[in-house]
Amino acid sequence: MDPQYQVVLQLLAALAIGLLIGIERGWSEREEDEGDRVAGLRTFSLIGLLGGIWAQLSNEIGDWVLAAAFIAVTALIIVSHIIETRESDDIGTTTEFAMMITFSLGAWAALGYYVYALGATALVVALLSMKPILHRWVRNIETKEIYAGIKLLIISIVLLPLLPNKGYGPWDALNPYWIWWMVVLICGISFVGYFAIKHVGNKWGTMVTAITGGLASSTAVTLSLAQFARQQPRRTLFMGGVMFASSIMFIRVLIEVSVVNPGLLNTLWIPVATLFIGVLVVGAWFLRDRDRPESDPKLEIDNPFNLPTALKFGALLALILFLSEAMQVRFGDQGVYVLSVVSGLMDVDAITLSLARLELKDLNTQVATIGIIIASIMNTLVKGFLFAFFVGWKESLQLIIGLFLAVIPGALIAILLT
């Protein structure tokens, strides 16, 4: 491209950055009188263009020119803010920082990185415009959630890098770094599920609560729906909720495998997707009954991150990982299948992560795939028996039969493909 056209394009990008941020700032302060606004559309446009011009001049004179210009603009912004705070009670600095970042982005664009600068501008505009939403989220955050987030950061950012990344014990089966990384992964998924339930699920009824709750714990959803259904004359809606929550478990399985061993997805995704669709279809069939209860259940998860629970899961994962190696060595493929059945009755995450990990070493792909499918099916069927324990076997027979029918297509496809 001709150098002159390149300069014009870069300056236009700098001007566009100022326009975009200026439009948002002008709109957010549209109720203010003309003379009361610190900066509007014109000011932000000029600041963006000013950053672009000084960036172009720095190519000719030296980088110090751009630094001096930024300091001068910052000083002017500070003086303007001091004067404004003396005349009003508003001590907010959002607009002032937006002016500084507009100058910076304009300069970045003029230095030839206009695509990145415009992308960053879109993020800035989004953050500025989301003030009511962000403030509402902050107001709704509880103390336990702050502590839970801090704990999650500690175990992931602080503790994880300190653990040795090598195998210990028989067959080098236990890798502290990998085991704890899987703990962080599962806690992170559950953390997302917790906030999905809090901000989305309980507001939109049983089905959304079941779906969002499945990210945190499909077992917890099943127990909650079962206890609520026990008090209701019609239970098919809650049976559908159990099915929908159980279907989310298959998404968790795919996420976990994609993190640990993406190559295993080549043989795993079709049967898992079939199981997911089968459970969803049967769950939708339960919803044919349009009679709704007087109120929807509210799923309560007391703590989004519980350190003792995380430690227990880490211990369970280490045990399953060790047993997977031992059962394979001692009993071959049949030993892995037996372990998948037993593990699936308790927790599908641990056996999924273990088999995905072992497939990277010496476990046959077919065995790993079938083992994960077996565990997923067993964990799905367990939901029906948990529901029946609280609601009654006769009343829950429809759900149990539905779960069995839902997993048959996925099981058959898994056998045929492997």
The answer for residues whose C-beta is within 8 angstroms of residue 142's C-beta and 6 or more apart is none
* Among candidate residues 360, 375, 246, 221, the one with its CA nearest the CA of residue 299: 221
Q: Are residues 242 and 360 in the same domain?
A: yes
Residue at a domain's end among 136, 171, 204: 136
Q: Are residues 189 and 294 in the same domain?
A: yes
Q: Are residues 114 and 186 in the same domain?
A: no
pLDDT at residue number 375: 92
pLDDT at residue number 318: 85
Q: Are residues 118 and 59 in the same domain?
A: yes
pTM for the model stands at 0.66
* CA 362 to chain CA centroid, nearest Å: 31
Q: Are residues 258 and 323 in the same domain?
A: yes
| CB neighbour burial string for 17-30, b if at least 16 within 10 angstroms, e if fewer | bbbbbbbbbbebee
What is the count of structural domains for the chain? 2
pLDDT at residue number 233: 64
**In angstroms, what CA-CA distances link 82 with 38, 76, 361?**
11, 10, 64
Q: Are residues 240 and 365 in the same domain?
A: yes
Q: Are residues 36 and 181 in the same domain?
A: no
Q: Are residues 40 and 147 in the same domain?
A: no
The two structure tokens encoding residue 317: 């994962």
Give, to the nearest 10 degrees, the angle between helix 348-359 and helix 236-260.
30
- Euclidean distance between CA atoms 87 and 80, whole angstroms: 11
Residue at a domain's end among 80, 106, 136: 136
Q: Are residues 216 and 230 in the same domain?
A: yes
Q: Are residues 153 and 109 in the same domain?
A: no
Q: Are residues 278 and 349 in the same domain?
A: yes
Domain residues for 162?
142-417
Give, to the nearest 10 degrees, the angle between helix 94-108 and helix 3-28.
170
* Residue 168 bridge partners (DSSP): 174
Asked if residue 230 lies in contact with residue 262, where contact means CB atoms within 8 angstroms, the answer is no
Give, to the nearest 10 degrees, the angle between helix 348-359 and helix 333-346.
150
Consecutive 10-residue averages of pLDDT for the chain (418 residues): 76 89 76 57 86 88 86 85 70 79 91 87 85 70 74 80 79 78 77 66 59 70 74 74 87 90 92 93 77 53 64 82 81 87 86 89 88 92 87 84 91 84
Q: Are residues 102 and 167 in the same domain?
A: no
Residue at a domain's end among 102, 136, 170: 136
The answer for residues whose C-beta is within 8 angstroms of residue 20's C-beta and 6 or more apart is 121, 122, 125
